[in-house]
Amino acid sequence: MTTAEALALEFSLVPRVLLDADEINVLDDGLHALAAIAEATRRQPTVAIVGPSGSGKSWLVNELAGSDVSPTGVLRPTTVAPVRVDVSQRSLVVELVDTPAWEHSPAIVKAEVASGNAVVLVVTPSRYADASVADLLAHIDADIPIMVVMNRVAEPTESGLIEDAGRVLRQRIVAVREDGSVSDVWARVSDVVDPQDGGRHAVLAAAAAGSGRFVAGTVTSRSTGLGRLEVALEAAEIPTLSGPLSVLDDWRQTAVAIVAAVAGLRDGVDHEIGYASEAGLGERFRLSLPEWDADSFGRKLDEWKLDTDAAFIASARIRWRPGATGDLVRRVAWKSAVNPAVTLPPRIRRVMGDRLSDVVMKRFDALLALVEDAVSDRHASWKDAISDAARYTPGSLLGAAEAYEASDTDV
Amino acid sequence: MSELNDILDLLDLAIGRSEGVLDERAWDRAGSLRSRLRVRDHYLEDALTVAFAGGTGTGKSSLVNAIVGAEVVSAGVLRPTTQAAVAVVPANLGGSIAALLDAVGVGETSDESGPEGRVLVDLPDYDSIERAHREIASAVVPNVDVVIWVADPEKYADPTVREQFLEPMLAYEDQFLFALNKVDLISEDVEPVVDHFRSILTTIGYASPSVVATAARNGQSGEADVEDLAHALAESMDTKRAALAKAALDIRMLSNEAWAFCHRKAVEWQSDSDALAASTFVSLGVAGYEMHARATDSATDRGRGT
């Protein structure tokens, strides 16, 4: 995993509930920057490293790649066929092609130059004015960006050397010292292969890293508010019904009233926990919780009604002609199961006899359990959300952002 | 009178007899060779002309300076550095040698003087963007007695100089000494690079090229090391012999070419004057061959530098 991928992963783990809208924008900006860099990376430009014999093309490729991918040597020509290597820094990936010397294999060099996105011409203080170098430059299409690297520049640089080479080659020269750093070369490569905007990659990378730092800092500072929510969660009691459920004329109306009552209880949970913290944070948590599926709860109530009817019928002591008992029970018996205080018609009481109160209490308890489940479910949602957020440690995001930033300086 | 003088008399005769037979340019070439060799003959015992030729940045000027042991020609970092052929003349000859320099085609003389018995000529490069430099160098190289071809570890295998110089100059191979300069830049064994350079020369056709490793200037490390080259130049080369060998070679090449031309013409036109010119060039060629053989015979002391 690259440092960019690691940072993107950390971004995805941040509990967005802890952030306000502006802060979420910052986080998204970071993700977008990473995505844009990744997209640019997928295009993977090719850079041909060309130059006269012995100028140190393979050395430069190896330095940029950070490993010996193309053999170097003192016997000329050293490189006889193109050597390709993907070089990545941060998330910019470039395919470098080490080519044979121009004088030895012009056809190969021409082909690589033509198919590449940019060219790095490597010269040395002793051979920047070679006719073969001028010849090579003349063979590079005007629309292909060229960087000229002068290798083996002495320390200190002979006065006027770089300027003179710039004049002779009509190019800006990047000087590289023997055993020196090639980071300047890499910077120029990054500029050149991203022609839309030389600094675009750097800006995006800085935005991603900065976003990571900011979000990590914000999440850390939110821990106070989160702490209050945790305390409230611990203290919160799950509300219960303050009185009997209301019984309306028919079952449908009654069911709607029960659903409304349960919704009220769930709001009570939100109130008790959510308002313990600063309004913004608690409200964002509330909005982040899964919406209550009232329809599904309504269906459970209907099932409860059917089960209740069945329980009454099964317990009936007297049976009339088939169906008559059921009709009567189904019409009114459920009312006492919703509210045991409701007095059932004498006919029902007669049919049920001494088993009536037992059935009523069992079915009433079953209904209360349904209601309690729906309310404690809300409490559980709060608990999950808060503990998820509390479990998140912004340190790993900060670490990823720093690692991503640091990868800029490595080659 | 030297033996070269005798041959030049014969050359006079051949030139006289080939007027109107050779085409104008070839006849002029014969005339200018005669003028040059007359001058050469005059300075035969005094000095060898030694040209330093090679690609840009190989360190020709630095090598001249290192051999002399003083900054006699300017060796710069801006390329191409040397823009005209510059001669470094022995102190004892001074201004008296102007005619020789003129004959060789060198216009400038260093204020400083060089080693005894050697006129060192620092040439412009052969491969830079300044095409005029190659023309200057190409004009001088055929006129000097000895050519030191300077290569470096970066460009010793360049096809450019091979095609532009080493292949056309093969006829003068005996005059050549090869210096692989800047060997201080090679961090590993120098010998394989020297061997490779030698094998490239052999492939071109140089039968047994003398290659010496030199380090004329070193930037940061070590001291100049031109001992082998200096030795080859100073001690192993007999001034007169080497000059005669080169003159003989020039004569042979001229007569080979002229004889063939006159002979073809004589056959074609059944012309006695053409035939006479042809036979005179044959005599000249034979004389040149003999002189070359004498100059190089028992020349065991001729520098090979190895």
Q: What is the pLDDT of residues B125-177, one digit of tens each?
A: 888 888 888 899 989 999 999 999 999 998 898 888 888 889 988 988 888 99
- What is the distance in angstroms between the Cα of A180 and the nearest Cα belonging to chain B? 15
- For B165, residues 6+ apart whose C-beta sits below 8 A from its C-beta are B53, B126, B138, B141, B149
Among all residues of chain A, which has the CA nearest to that of B131? A131
Which residues of chain A neighbour B133 with C-beta distances below 8 Å?
A: none
Nearest 10 degrees: CA dihedral of B191, B197, B198, B199? Answer: 110
Contact assignment for A54 to B77 by CB distance below 8 Å: no
Query: What pLDDT was estimated at residue A194?
Result: 62
For residue B266, is pLDDT > 50?
A: yes
- For B160, residues 6+ apart whose C-beta sits below 8 A from its C-beta are A103, A130, A131, A132, B55, B127
Q: Is the distance from CB of B171 to CB of B116 less than 8 angstroms?
A: no
ipTM for this model = 0.81
- What is the distance in angstroms between the Cα of B9 and the nearest Cα belonging to chain A? 43
Contact assignment for A54 to B154 by CB distance below 8 Å: yes
> Taking the CB of residue A292, how many other CB atoms lie within 10 A of it?
17
The neighbouring-strand residues paired with A149 are A122, A174
Residues in chain B: 306
Contact assignment for B160 to A77 by CB distance below 8 Å: no
Which residues of chain B neighbour A132 with C-beta distances below 8 Å?
A: 127, 158, 160
Name every residue in B having a CB less than 8 A away from some CB of A: 55-59, 77-80, 125, 127-131, 152-160, 182, 185-188, 192-193, 196, 219-220
> Taking the CB of residue A343, how many other CB atoms lie within 10 A of it?
10
Q: Residue A59 in 3-state DSSP?
A: helix
Task: Tell me the C-alpha distance between B35 and A62, whole Å.
Answer: 57
The residue among B63, B155, B184 with the most chain A CBs within 10 A of its CB, best to mutate, is: B155
* Angle formed at CA B164 by CA B163 and CA B167, multiple of 5 degrees: 55
Contact assignment for A126 to B78 by CB distance below 8 Å: no
- What is the distance in angstroms between the Cα of A84 and the nearest Cα belonging to chain B? 23
Among all residues of chain A, which has the CA nearest to that of B159? A103
Contact assignment for A168 to B188 by CB distance below 8 Å: no
Q: What mean pLDDT, rounded, does chain B reach?
A: 88
The neighbouring-strand residues paired with A86 are A95
Task: Tell me the C-alpha distance between A153 and A327, whole Å.
Answer: 104
User: CA of A243: how far to CAs of A167, A344, A368, B14, B249, in Å?
Assistant: 95, 20, 12, 142, 130
User: What's the farthest any 2 CA atoms get from each other in chain B?
Assistant: 70
Contact assignment for B192 to A74 by CB distance below 8 Å: yes
Question: Pick from B172, B144, B119, B176: which is nearest to B302 by CA?
Answer: B176
For B83: left if phi > 0, alpha if psi spans -120 to 50, otherwise beta; the answer is: alpha
Which residues of chain B neighbour A155 with C-beta distances below 8 Å?
A: 220
* Angle formed at CA B60 by CA B57 and CA B62, multiple of 5 degrees: 95
The neighbouring-strand residues paired with B148 are B52, B177
Task: Tell me the C-alpha distance between A276 and A294, whole Å.
Answer: 26
Contact assignment for B186 to A74 by CB distance below 8 Å: yes
**Per-residue pLDDT tens digits for B57-101:** 888 999 999 988 888 888 887 888 878 899 999 988 877 888 999
- What is the distance in angstroms between the Cα of A100 and the nearest Cα belonging to chain B? 12
pTM: 0.65
Per-residue pLDDT of chain A (411 residues; tens, 9 = 90+): 788 889 999 999 999 989 988 999 999 999 999 888 787 767 678 899 999 988 999 999 998 888 888 888 888 888 888 998 888 765 567 889 999 999 889 989 998 998 888 899 999 998 898 888 999 999 998 888 899 999 989 888 888 899 999 999 988 898 888 777 888 888 888 777 765 544 667 788 888 999 999 999 999 988 888 888 888 898 888 888 877 788 888 999 999 999 999 999 999 999 888 877 766 888 889 988 999 999 999 999 999 999 999 898 888 877 666 667 778 788 888 999 999 888 888 888 888 888 889 999 999 999 999 999 999 999 999 999 999 998 898 899 999 999 988 875 432
Among all residues of chain A, which has the CA nearest to that of B57? A126
End-to-end CA distance of chain B: 35
